[in-house]
Amino acid sequence: MTDTKVRVGLVAGGLGAYWPQFPDLLPQLKRSAERVSERMRELGADVVDVGFISDAQEGAAAAEKLRVAGCDLIVGFLTTYMTATMLVPIAQRSGAPVLLINLQPTESMDHATFDTGQWLAYCGACPLPEMANAFQRCGIPFRSVSGYVEDERAWAKIGRWVRAAGVRAALRRGRHGLMGHLYPGMLDVSTDLTLVPANFGGHMEVLEFDDLRVRVEKVTDAEAEAKKKEAAEIFELADSVNDEDFSWAARVAVGLDRLVEDFELDSLAYYHRGLDGEIHERLGAGMILGASLLTARGVPAAGEYELRTSLAMLIMDRLGAGGSFTELQALDFQRGHVEMGHDGPAHLAISDSKPLLRGLGVYHGKRGWGVSVEFDVKHGPVTAFGIRQGRDGRFAFVASEGEVVDGPLLQIGNTTSRVDFGCDPGEWTDAWSATGISHHWALGTGHRIADLRALADLLEVELIDVRA
């Protein structure tokens, strides 16, 4: 799964009038600022630390440095009281979302011994309402985390904002491929391509299946054999896999690798029906292996032209959750489980065991035949996550946390998982469907709604939490 390097701009500050009055204060605050910078790097961030500011002029200079740096998130560290004029220009000019943190040195002051100078080191909460008011009046979205320097609860929340900023950056810089045509009749899957950059940013690359065909035609026998060897190491091969279909899937997989490299794709959604076994039908039917390998490498590929689900898979991958192509399969009222999965691309990194490659003589509802991936998502906490397109053209997040549990599974070349959402499966299915979600989504490991809520805030989209 992809480890996203997020660029965080860090500025710490306090009111310069205090420094001549309390000589020990500024050195103490700078030590706290250095520790915050260190912990930001421990979160995996590329930190652009512009130092400590003491007045509006220094704030303006820091704003220009951070604007040029092209940060994904600006973190303003309120070490003590400071005026709003010191941070508003930074928020206005950076072009990045801003997180304000108020982290006092320790959990509590020593009230019996502290003088005014020592108290001021604990006064970062004082300017927070002032910043909130000024930010709101300037039309700047506001978010904050308060705690103390080594407060793990606070750092868990800060880490959430840093991860969300990294995913936002991946979407804004991403190149998303759409290849083929809509599965006939699937009105829910249809997406206005302009809505992707409108809601998330990024670039849409419209591809033809011929873009894949010409690359597959150039694959050598040696390259196809190497891909087969790679797949044989990753998958358990069922007896139903015949060598002709396996070889074709490997050849298509090499072609897909080249397609992704040539167009610099970060995600791909595809479908092509084809006719009577001709080349485009065979290409469409041969993509499951290569698309699953791409997905596990952090380039999510979704079938049935499901652009919004390929984006949901990308988001889950960048959060470290995997994110496998999923739809409803059946409801088990006896055990209280929702059975979900899909034929087609799967995120191999979240399989509960070594994934199986199964040969299929027919793909249900699709033309062609070949090999398909079968596995169960790792047992434990999971999150179902999809992107809804509303009538007004706005995207929204839809998510629900559950747990993958034991139980009987179909052996039909599909990914299949039993998810317990803690309620009657029929009630959950009605509540999930009532959100307006389409019939595909991403299933990822871990409970991720807190992370998704932070991302929704940065993207200014609604999050619908479907609970038991």
pLDDT tens for each residue of 40-54? 999 999 999 999 999
Lowest mean pLDDT among 31-35, 329-333, 349-353: 349-353
- pLDDT for the residue numbered 1: 45
Q: How confident is the model at residue 247 (pLDDT cuts 50, 70, 90)?
A: very high
Q: How confident is the model at residue 113 (pLDDT cuts 50, 70, 90)?
A: very high
Decide if pLDDT at 63 tops 90: yes
* Sequence-separated (6 or more) residues with CB below 8 Å from residue 204: 176, 178, 193, 196, 197
Decide if pLDDT at 177 tops 80: yes
pLDDT, average across residues 308-330:
95
Decide if pLDDT at 401 tops 90: yes
392 — phi, psi (to 5°)? -85, 0
**Residue written as token pair 């434990």:** 380
* Sequence-separated (6 or more) residues with CB below 8 Å from residue 214: none
Lowest mean pLDDT among 66-80, 324-338, 359-373, 448-462: 359-373
- pLDDT for the residue numbered 362: 62
Is residue 43 within 8 Å of 20, Cβ to Cβ? no
Q: Which fold has domain 7-166?
A: Rossmann fold (3.40.50)
Say whether 174-465 and 7-166 share the same fold. no
Its CATH class, for the domain covering 174-465, is alpha beta
* Sequence-separated (6 or more) residues with CB below 8 Å from residue 332: 338, 339, 407, 418, 425
- pLDDT for the residue numbered 412: 79
pLDDT, average across residues 76-103:
96
Count CB atoms within 10 A of the CB of residue 156. 12
Q: How confident is the model at residue 2 (pLDDT cuts 50, 70, 90)?
A: low
Task: Kindly give the pairing relationship between strand 380-389 and strand 441-445.
Answer: antiparallel
pLDDT, average across residues 418-441:
96
Tokens of 73: 């998130």
pLDDT digits (tens, 9 = 90+) for 255-269: 999 999 999 999 999
Percent of the chain with pLDDT over 90: 85
- pLDDT for the residue numbered 365: 58
> According to the 3-state scheme, what is the secondary structure of the chain?
CCCCCCEEEEEEECCCCHHHHCCCHHHHHHHHHHHHHHHHHHCCCEEEEEEEECCHHHHHHHHHHHHHHCCCEEEEEECCCCCHHHCHHHHHHHCCCEEEEEEECCCCCCCCCCCHHHHHCCCCCCCHHHHHHHHHHCCCCCCEEEEECCCHHHHHHHHHHHHHHHHHHHHHHCEEEEEECCCCCCCCCCCCCCHHHHHCCCEEEEECHHHHHHHHHCCCHHHHHHHHHHHHHHCEECCCCCHHHHHHHHHHHHHHHHHHHHHCCCEEEEECCCCCCCHHHHHHHCCHHHHHHHHHCCCCEECCCCHHHHHHHHHHHHCCCEEEEEEEEEEECCCCEEEEEECCCCCHHHECCCCEEEEECCCCCCCCCEEEEECCECCEEEEEEEEEECCCCCEEEEEEEEEEECCCCCCCCCEEEEEECCCCHHHHHHHHHHCCCCCCEEEEECCCHHHHHHHHHHHCCEEEECCC
pLDDT, average across residues 197-217:
97
Q: How confident is the model at residue 363 (pLDDT cuts 50, 70, 90)?
A: low
Q: How confident is the model at residue 367 (pLDDT cuts 50, 70, 90)?
A: low
Please give the model's pTM, rounded to 2 decimal places. Answer: 0.94
pLDDT digits (tens, 9 = 90+) for 195-204: 999 999 999 9
Residue of 249 and 413 predicted with greater confidence: 249
Domain boundaries of the chain, sorted by first residue: 7-166, 174-465
Percent of the chain with pLDDT over 70: 97
pLDDT, average across residues 331-346:
91
Decide if pLDDT at 413 tops 80: no
Q: How confident is the model at residue 4 (pLDDT cuts 50, 70, 90)?
A: low
> Using alpha carbons only, what angle is made at residue 444 by residues 438 and 448, rounded to the nearest 5 degrees?
95
- pLDDT for the residue numbered 277: 84
pLDDT, average across residues 278-301:
93
